[in-house]
Amino acid sequence: MRFKDFERIVFFTGAGMSAESGVPTYRGAGGIWREYDYRAYACQDAFNHDPEHVWEFHNYRRGIVGACAPNRGHEIIAELEATHHVTVVTQNIDGLHQLAGSTNVIELHGSLWRLRCDHCGNRHRGRENPLEELHCTACHSYWRPDIVWFGDTLNFENIQDAQHALQECDLMISIGTSGVVYPAAALPMVAKRSGARMVEVNPELTDMSVLYDVNFRTTASEALTEMSGA
């Protein structure tokens, strides 16, 4: 399985893509949701009830993620833009694909580094770490992290763009996702139905593993390095 045999590649990435960068995953050993109840920190009700408490958690996450750099896997995906049509459809909110140089990134679950104000529509993008000013610069309501929390609907354009890329690709590579959170988890099926070659990169078996033609039971950077070979 080599990139050189394909032209249009979609990388569908999850938290495992950033594990080698030091970003904790959500499930499995050391996973965030083993330590924190997402209902208290990552849903609209929690934010409405106690925005300062939710911001405490998100500033904690900014601190950890902000100290992490892209790994070799992120860099390989970014470098492929020079020779292939590459789309990154990521569930990650860490911004590491963009830091590595990827330019065509669909952030299905938003970004830790983007803010929005649901009162006046104001938006802000920045890597303040921690975010000190928690209030919108226009109307002084609390900034809301521009992250898709449990119970939120995904951005329609993002889903459309992702589906289009998955319909058009000849190679779809899923990297570092447990494939348990919908609707994102259903997206790889679009590529399968369109006849793309399907590759999964995950050290562990997942519920989605049966979907794939090739399974690399290894880390993101190891598998991507191998696929870059001659």
Question: Binding residues for Zn ion, how many (CB under 5 A)?
Answer: 8
Pairing of strands 171-175, 197-201: parallel
214, two tokens = 């090739």
Binding partner of residue 201 among Zn ion, ligand APR, none, CB cut-off 5 to 8 Å per kind: ligand APR
Tokens 């999964």 map to which residue?
Answer: 200
- Cβ at position 73, least distance to ligand APR in Å: 7
Sequence-ordered list of residues with C-beta below 8 angstroms from that of 42, at least 6 positions apart, any chain:
54, 57, 147, 149, 150
Q: How far is the CB of 135 from Zn ion (least distance, A)?
A: 8
Instruction: List residues binding ligand APR (CB under 6 A).
Output: 14-16, 19-20, 25-28, 31, 91, 109, 175-178, 181, 201-204, 206, 219-220
Q: Rounded to the nearest whole angstrom, what is the least distance from the CB of residue 61 to ligand APR in the complex? A: 12
Provide CB contacts within 8 A for 228, sequence distance 6+: 2, 3, 76
Are the CB atoms for 215 and 209 separated by under 8 Å?
yes
Residue 49 is among the residues annotated as catalytic for this protein:
no
- Applying CB under 5 A, the span of 21-29, 72-80, 116-124, 206-214 interacting with Zn ion comes to 116-124
Out of Zn ion, ligand APR, none, which partner does residue 177 contact, by CB within 5 to 8 A per kind?
ligand APR
The nearest distance, CB 117 to Zn ion, in angstroms, is: 3
**188: burial class by Cβ within 10 Å (0-12, 13-18, 19+)?**
buried
Task: Considering the complex, state which of residue 136 and residue 198 has its C-beta at the smaller distance from ligand APR.
Answer: 198
Q: Which helix (H) or strand (E) holds 160?
A: helix 156-168
Residues that bind Zn ion (CB under 5 A): 117, 119-120, 122, 136, 138-139, 141
